[in-house]
Amino acid sequence: MLRLFALTLGLVLTAAAAFAQTGKVTVVTSFSKDVTDPLKKAFEKAVPGATLEVQNRNTNAGVKFLEETKANNQVDLFWASAPDAFEVLKGKKLLSPYKPKAAGIAEKVGSYPVNDKDGFYSGFAASGYGIMWNERYVKANKLPTPKEWQDLAAAPYFDHVSISAPSRSGTTHLTIETILQGEGWDKGWRTIKEISGNLRQVTDRSFGVPEAVNSGQVGYGIVIDFFAFSSQGAGFPVKFVYPSVTTLVPANVGIVANAPNKAGAEAFIEFLLSPAGQEALLEPTIRRLPVRPETYAKAPADYPNPFKDKNLQGLLTFNAVLSESRSAAVDTLYDQLITFQLEPLKAATKVLHELDAALAKKDNAQARALAKEARDLIAAMPITAAQAASPEIRAAFSGGKEKSARQAELEQQWAAFAKEKYAAAKAKADEALKLAR
């Protein structure tokens, strides 16, 4: 008993001593050691007297931790690549605004603004989404090499693709939202469902996708680029391609409200945006895209450059307000229509692939008409774009008074909708297949 007390006392005193020193900067981050170790070293070299204390947590645990400890906050910075997490923290008033002094940082990278418009968090890097595949798997199964997103919807890719759920991966969510903004609500969802019909699995964490591709459990993965490159760097037999229209997603850092060492936190952000910090991003273990355009002069020749490469420029201006307004709805729609209805969706898609093959051999107008009907059934959505952004739907997720239904009720409605539609689509496709043969 006495020993425990002494131990406790000792711990407390050490903590107090550390407190007194102004150099400790505490950061909660979801970045891996591959990223944090080199940046920590570089930061501590650039700012003598400062030490970076890294608390590694997955994004959700990090957000929850900040929420629960806000009464006596000990954390200076939140540092992650999940834009939705920053929005949540901002909404719960857990961030302090800060305008970085660094000059020479771009306003926009790809389609996205680099910084939060209200100044609560700053972007320091970007990454691109693309397609990664396992060479051995592809060779063994005699599969094709993809180039564009739409390729993944083709028949040979059936049951070989993996993606992480947008509800679980903020960056994947942005990719989906970009498709919706680019192609429009209905066409966008049609594309998404066509690709999703070929999925083998929907993972619940971002890293699950590259991990599955690395082991060869799955052939193709829709991943963020640095996962693919670090896998290659680790020796895995994988390849990566940026489609010609790709999504660039940002990585951010923000100062936590009531930070114990605000000065230190600001110093860290300035470091990240400084030429030295931005150059550090080019290291093979980190491999992020700097937001300081001049940094690319120091990069190797084939390094992707969002300020020069056509396919990284972004075809549209991303509407962050729209994205935010329907964020919960889009996540839930994906889950209820695809993630948890994957088997029925795949069943219908499979028959459609077989049907296409049969029609290629011998055309049949009636069968083709039925195929189109089946596809339309799959592409049908339970709510329109306007409804998705409406106050009623939003209130269902936030608990506001205007809600039309509870979240659980909406989910059940949408799930039932999808189940019915996919079953009907499969029935039509089966019928068409009989005709075509």
Partner 1 sequence: MALAGTRSGGQAVLALTIALFLGVFLVVPVATVVYVAFTEKGGGGLTLVNFLDFARTDLFVRSFWNSVYVSAMTVVWASALALPLAYLTTRFEFRGAMLVQTLGFLPLVMPPFVGAVAMQLLFGRNGSVNLLLDEWFDFKIGFMEGLNGVIFLQAIHYFPFILVNLSAALRNIDRSMEEAAQNLGSHGLRLFRRIALPLALPGFIAGASLVFVKVFDDVATPLLLNVKEMLAPQAYLRITSIGIDDPMGYVISVVLIGVAVATMWASAQVLKGKDYATTQRGGGGLARRKLKPRESALAYAVVILILALVLAPHVGLLLLSFATVWSFSPLPDGYTLAHYARVLGDSSVYIKNTLLYSSLAAGIDVVIGGAIAYLVLRTKLPGRQWLDWAASTALAVPGIVLGIGYLRAFYGVKMPDGTPLAALWIVIVLAIAIRRLPYALRAAYAALQQISVSLEEAAENLGATKARTVRRIVIPLMTGGLLAGFVTSFATAAVELSAVLILVQSNSDAPLAYGLYVLMQTPAGRGAGAALGVIAVVIVAICMGLAQLAADRSQRARGLDI
Q: According to CB under 8 A, which residues from 101 to 140 bind partner 1? A: 134, 136-137, 140
CB of 74 to partner 1, least distance (A): 7
Between CA 398 and CA 289 the distance in angstroms is 35
Is the separation of the CB atoms in 166 and 172 below 8 Å?
yes
Burial track 145-176 (b if 16+ CB lie within 10 A, e otherwise)? ebeebebbbeeebbebbbbbbbbbbbbbbbbb
Tell me if 16 contacts partner 1 by CB under 8 A.
Answer: yes
C-alpha distances in angstroms, 153 versus 89, 160, 325? 36, 11, 28
Which of positions 316-345 make contact with partner 1 (CB under 8 A)? 327-328, 331-332, 336, 339-340
CB of 13 to partner 1, least distance (A): 8
Which of positions 261-290 make contact with partner 1 (CB under 8 A)? 285
Which of positions 417-436 make contact with partner 1 (CB under 8 A)? 419
Of 119, 182, 207, 279, the one binding partner 1 by CB under 8 A = 207
Of 96, 172, 201, 252, the one binding partner 1 by CB under 8 A = 201
Tell me if 409 contacts partner 1 by CB under 8 A.
Answer: yes
Rg of the chain over all Cα atoms, to the nearest angstrom: 24
Of 25, 52, 54, 195, the one binding partner 1 by CB under 8 A = 54
Burial track 9-21 (b if 16+ CB lie within 10 A, e otherwise)? eeeeeeeeeeeee
Beta strands in 175-237 (DSSP E): 199-203, 220-224
Of 210 and 277, nearer to partner 1 (C-beta) is: 210
Of 130 and 208, nearer to partner 1 (C-beta) is: 208
Which token pair is 120? Answer: 């609560």
Between CA 241 and CA 147 the distance in angstroms is 7
Of 104, 144, 145, 204, the one binding partner 1 by CB under 8 A = 204
Of 5, 48, 68, 297, the one binding partner 1 by CB under 8 A = 68
Of 1, 2, 72, 321, the one binding partner 1 by CB under 8 A = 72
Is the separation of the CB atoms in 130 and 213 below 8 Å?
no
* DSSP codes joined into one string, 294-321: GGGGGS-TTS--TTT-GGGT-SS---HH
Q: Which stretch binds partner 1 (CB under 8 A): 61-69, 188-196, 293-301, 348-356?
A: 61-69
Between CA 306 and CA 296 the distance in angstroms is 10
Of 393 and 433, nearer to partner 1 (C-beta) is: 393
Between CA 114 and CA 105 the distance in angstroms is 8
Between CA 319 and CA 146 the distance in angstroms is 29
Which token pair is 298? Answer: 């120091």
Which of positions 214-253 make contact with partner 1 (CB under 8 A)? 214-217, 227, 230-231, 233-238
CB of 124 to partner 1, least distance (A): 19
Of 50, 88, 348, 352, the one binding partner 1 by CB under 8 A = 88
Ramachandran region of residue 399, left (φ > 0), alpha (ψ -120 to 50) or beta?
Answer: left
CB of 401 to partner 1, least distance (A): 7
Which token pair is 194? Answer: 């066509």
Tell me if 404 contacts partner 1 by CB under 8 A.
Answer: no
Q: Which stretch binds partner 1 (CB under 8 A): 29-37, 177-185, 265-273, 346-354?
A: 29-37
